[in-house]
Amino acid sequence: MYDEADLTSSELESSMKMRLKNREALFLKKINESLKRIEEGSFGECQECGDEIEIRRLEARPTATHCVNCKEQQERLEQLHIDGHRHKSIGSKLRLA
């Protein structure tokens, strides 16, 4: 019979395995999408602005779909809280239209 520590350890291990499987599945999906873009001739083109994604970025992250500028903008927008406030470390309240 398992004691509480064994159960906790087992649950943590199962959770970690599931997270890794999910990450692998997502990465394989991104690889397949990149291969499709290669076939279509749109690989290396930013899906946001249409500009070319720098080769250095593609070498570092072959599944990249955005140029550095668009990705940085996307990340800034993702830092907004759902209630319309910016994170305290990046500024004051932002009004959403």
CATH number, domain with residue 75: 1.20.120.910
Nearest Cα neighbor of 84 from 74, 96, 75, 92 is: 96
85/52 same-domain check? yes
pLDDT at residue 82, as a whole number: 56
73/89 same-domain check? yes
Which tokens in the block code for residue 38?
A: 């290669």
38/48 same-domain check? no
29/58 same-domain check? no
User: What are 35-66's pLDDT values in tens digits?
Assistant: 999 999 999 999 999 999 999 999 999 999 99
Q: Looking at residues 11-23, what average pLDDT do you find?
A: 94
Burial (Cβ within 10 Å: 0-12, 13-18, ≥19) of residue 54: middle
| H/E run at residue 11 | helix 4-40
Which domain covers residue 59, as residue numbers?
44-97
61/74 same-domain check? yes
Tally the domains of the chain. 2
| H/E run at residue 5 | helix 4-40
